[in-house]
Amino acid sequence: MARDEEKEKLKKTILLLQDEIERLSSPPYITGTILDFADKNARISVDGVGVFEVPFGDKLKEEYKTGARVIINPMTKSVVGQSEFDIASGRVVTVEEVDGKNLRVQNRGESCFVLSNLEGVKVGDEVMLDPSGAIALKHWGKKKTPYVLEKIPEAPWSNIGGLEGIIGIVKEEIEDPIKHKEVFERYGRNPVKGVLLYGPPGCGKTMIAKSIAYNLSQLTSCPGKKDGHFIKVNGPEILDKWLGNSEGKIRRIFTAARDTASENGAPVVVFIDEADSILKTRGTGVSTDIYDSIVPQFLAELDGINGNGNVITVLASNREDIIDPAILRDGRVDRRIFVPRPSEEGAAEIFMIYLKNKPLDCRSFGKKDIKGIAEESSAQIYDGRNVAYRVVSPKGTLGFFLYSNLASGAMIKGIVDRASMYAIKREIAGNGRGISKDDIKRAIEEEFSDHDGFAQAIVPTDWEDVFGHNGRQYNRACQQGYLTLENIFSRIEDSTKLKEVKE
Ligand SMILES: Nc1ncnc2c1ncn2[C@@H]1O[C@H](COP(=O)(O)OP(=O)(O)OP(=O)(O)O)[C@@H](O)[C@H]1O
Ligand SMILES: [Mg+2]
């Protein structure tokens, strides 16, 4: 009896060892995907290797279908079973065309055909390919564009100071044709397809674009359908190192805009900030090849907008001079709106917006109301003795950029933020309450002198403001190093000195 038990135990051990020897001596299996079947063979896309034809009997055909993941013995090149693992990695691509069992997809910037057994795949959908990239295995559905904003930020016109004239033009050009659609139609006037907002940095272009979207959503609001009216893209986000991908992105942005507009029955604003970075003039040497294909795609999309006011393109740029003229031609983005630096009155309005509801030390300003305080603060920037840069040529001084030539809404906000900080510190230390005139003065000095890269913020129109029709020429001379900007950033108290230097 004991002998029998021992025998049985030994038998089990031998069997186990046999299994182990087999496992250790067999090569690692590889995996693949069945593409399709012929009479006696199956075509299999072997992961990371390529496509093989392997013998495949009728019995096996009953077991496996196109798209099945299988284990292959590399020695015998035969299918040994079904893989139980998910695909470790597969590329997700966008479908460009569906033709029976073939899909044309966009893969790493190239169009290529892959097989597919998937049901209901449509153009614009995303599919996952098998690791060799031969067959689409999974349907991800429509690619969600990351560009549609679900909610439009609240941005009433009253948040913007000193730009009434500009806002008036925007309202006339964009809001009125939508508000009074029938009247405009009777006179045969189509709503604009696009506007270009251009001008120096920090002066409200982005704010205006947001307000356009917000106000349109208010105008056309229908209950429950207020979302998704604003698609904001930064130009450089569109640039892609893969040839063809940038065009694809533009196409997707406009498709999303048109879809959202028709779903919601309300206008969608496509806002492209820093538009000059993608829409540079073609073939001038200013641009490289990539613009030669982005600009035509953009034009095609603009021309595809049907002009019923449903999709409005707003471009913003501070280098409108390098945008391809075809984009700005009639019937496309044909309204150019210059968003200037604030005037002294405009700056006072912006001060009012940011000083509102803040504790103020009215006595130090010698004023009772916020309007007077805002005007006083603005006057401190626009004092003609505040010199930022001296423009110097080899022959001497050509002129000056004053603080007023460089002021912007963004800086005024920065000044108020700084002044608030001084006041907070003083109040904590128990030395009084409220923003004082000195706080504003100090904040202006620091805002201007602290500002790195100021010179880059000077745009061609600023040169024209200071030097009239010579401005653009001087600007170029400065870029080429014939003229220099000498930092001053302080008040030249002595007006004769200012004059002396000037001469
Ligand atoms: N006219 C203005 N009224 C109130 N705030 C302003 C105004 N202009 C600018 N600002 C403030 O400056 C910030 C920057 O403005 P915005 O982004 O609109 O400038 P931009 O013209 O688009 O500049 P960029 O060319 O650098 O993109 C705003 O968020 C706002 O706080
Ligand atoms: Mg901007």
pLDDT per residue over 22-45, tens digit each? 877 777 888 888 888 888 888 888
CA of 477 to the centre of ligand 1 (A): 29
| CA 196 to ligand 2 centroid distance, Å | 12
Predicted local confidence at residue 403, as pLDDT: 93
pLDDT of 141-167, one tens digit each? 766 666 666 567 788 999 999 999 999
Question: Does ligand 1 lie within 6 Å of residue 201's CB atom?
Answer: yes
pLDDT of residue 444: 94
d(CA 257, CA 263) in angstroms, rounded, equals 10
Determine what percent of the chain is predicted with pLDDT higher than 70: 90
CATH of 148-338, one of 3.40.50.300, 3.40.190.10, 3.30.530.20, 3.40.50.10470: 3.40.50.300
CA of 166 to the centre of ligand 2 (A): 16
pLDDT, residue 346, reads 97
Q: Is-contact 455 448, C-beta < 8 A?
A: no
| Confidence at residue 254, expressed as pLDDT on a 0 to 100 scale | 87
Q: Can you give the pLDDT at residue 224?
A: 47
How deeply is 415 buried, as exposed, middle or buried, from its count of CB atoms within 10 A (0-12, 13-18, 19+)? buried
Q: What is the pLDDT of residues 52-97, one digit of tens each?
A: 888 887 777 788 888 888 888 877 778 888 888 777 777 888 888 8
- pLDDT above 70 for 406: yes
- Which long-range contacts does 498-501 make (Cβ < 8 Å, 24+ apart)? 498/385, 498/387, 498/400, 501/390, 501/397, 501/400
Most ligand 1 atoms within 8 A of CB, residue of 158, 206, 415, 454 to mutate: 206
Work out the average pLDDT over 211-233: 70
What is the predicted pLDDT for the residue at 232? 85
CATH number, domain 2-82? 2.40.50.140
Tally the residues of the chain.
503
Q: pLDDT tens digit string along 162-205?
A: 999 999 999 998 888 888 888 988 998 887 889 999 999 999 99
User: Residue 153 C-alpha to ligand 1 middle, in angstroms?
Assistant: 15
Average pLDDT over residues 115-142: 82
**pLDDT, position 501:** 46
Q: What are the structure tokens assigned to 462, written together?
A: 């600023």
Q: Residue 414: CB within 6 Å of ligand 1?
A: no
Residue with the larger pLDDT of the pair 190 and 337? 337
Instruction: Determine the topology of domain 92-142 in CATH.
Output: SH3 type barrels. (2.30.30)
- Protein residues with C-beta less than 5 angstroms from the ion ligand 2: 205-206
> What integer is the mean pLDDT of 305-322?
84
pLDDT bin (cut points 50, 70, 90) of residue 236 is confident
| Average pLDDT rounded to a whole number, residues 397-426 | 94
Listed by start position, the domains of the chain span 2-82, 92-142, 148-338, 344-502
Fold classification of 344-502 (topology level): Helicase, Ruva Protein; domain 3 (1.10.8)
Q: What is the pLDDT of residue 90?
A: 78
Of the listed ligands, the closest to the CA of 339 is 1
Q: What is the mean pLDDT of the chain?
A: 85
Cβ proximity of 176 and 183 under 8 Å: no
Confidence at residue 255, expressed as pLDDT on a 0 to 100 scale: 82
Q: Is 145 in the pocket of ligand 1 (CB under 6 A)?
A: no
Among 15-19, 105-109, 296-300, 342-346, the range of highest mean pLDDT = 342-346
pLDDT of residue 498: 63
Please say if the pLDDT value at position 500 is more than 60: no
Residue 25: CB partners within 8 Å, gap ≥ 6? none
Q: What is the pLDDT of residue 289?
A: 65
Nearest-angstrom CA–CA distance, 24 and 19: 9
Q: Whose CA is nearest to atom 5 of ligand 1?
A: 409
